[in-house]
Chains A and B, each alone.
Chain A
Amino acid sequence: EAQVTQNPRYLITVTGKKLTVTCSQNMNHEYMSWYRQDPGLGLRQIYYSMNVEVTDKGDVPEGYKVSRKEKRNFPLILESPSPNQTSLYFCASSFEREGAAYVGEQFFGPGTRLTVL
């Protein structure tokens, strides 16, 4: 089944304790992205990656890191989590249409609900 998986689905942690949220897709997509969703703010992009080894900042990258060593995986790293990073996180992947500066249909993972105490 074509899908985007995230782990863990739920996480409660404390301020300053490094954590990683994994994201994996089995659709051979080039493009992957991380979003956070907060009440009243919709979806905001944290980081995106157009292909392996190429990543760039989205709208709210502060406090986050990512890596893209393999096409299928795009982990989100919080080196020193803080309470303002309590949020619902979504990973997404997509094909990029060749020659056009846009991203096609994005497939979203089920979400990771993170609470930082």
Chain B
Amino acid sequence: LAKTTQPISMDSYEGQEVNITCSHNNIATNDYITWYQQFPSQGPRFIIQGYKTKVTNEVASLFIPADRKSSTLSLPRVSLSDTAVYYCLVGDIVSGGYNKLIFGAGTRLAVHP
């Protein structure tokens, strides 16, 4: 099963770019990589998803190297409201082709003034 490893916590300051790396050494051929953001007492919220190379949307970029054994979520110019827990998720394959999804432990990002 493809599991993920992320830093437990990170600190940054307003206006800086933040890069959070996730390791997923056992990623399968058909797996996609997804990142979620979670605020206290709320359900996680989708940020971005990708398969390889680079994906960019209005809030973040996702960099995936050719071997796909890791990925990096990049948050440009963070603000205080970006303080949250960020989860890296790798879609997994079990027998029958169904999906068992495994969240990592998450990275707690603290943005300081």
A interface with B by C-beta (< 8 Å): 4, 31, 33, 35, 40-45, 48, 50, 54, 56, 58-59, 88, 90, 92, 96, 100-111
Contact = CB atoms under 8 A, between A and B. Distances in A.
B66 interface: no
Interface stretch (B16-24, B76-84, B97-105): B97-105
> Secondary structure at chain B's binding surface: helix, strand, loop or mixed?
loop
B31 A105 contact: no
Interface of B: 28, 30-32, 34, 36, 41-46, 49, 87, 91, 93-94, 97-106
Given A42-B87, A101-B30, A108 B45 contact: yes
A102 B46 contact: no
Contact of A108 (B31, B43, B106): B43
Given A42-B87, A42-B106, A102-B31, A59 B100 contact: yes
B97 to A, nearest CB: 6
> Secondary structure at chain A's binding surface: helix, strand, loop or mixed?
strand
A48 B31 CA distance: 17
A109 B42 CA distance: 8
Nearest to B43: A108
Contacts of B105: 40-42
Contacts, number: 76
Nearest to A55: B98
Contacts of A41: 105
Nearest to A56: B98
A92 B43 CA distance: 9
A103 B62 CA distance: 17
B13 to A, nearest CB: 26
A105 B46 contact: yes
B45 A50 contact: no
Given A58-B100, A100-B32, A104-B49, 8 more contacts: A50-B98, A50-B99, A56-B98, A90-B43, A90-B44, A101-B97, A103-B99, A111-B42
A15 to B, nearest CB: 25
25 contacts: A35-B103, A40-B105, A42-B106, A43-B87, A44-B103, A45-B103, A50-B99, A54-B98, A56-B98, A58-B101, A92-B43, A96-B99, A100-B32, A101-B93, A101-B99, A102-B31, A102-B32, A104-B49, A105-B49, A106-B34, A106-B36, A106-B44, A106-B46, A108-B45, A109-B43
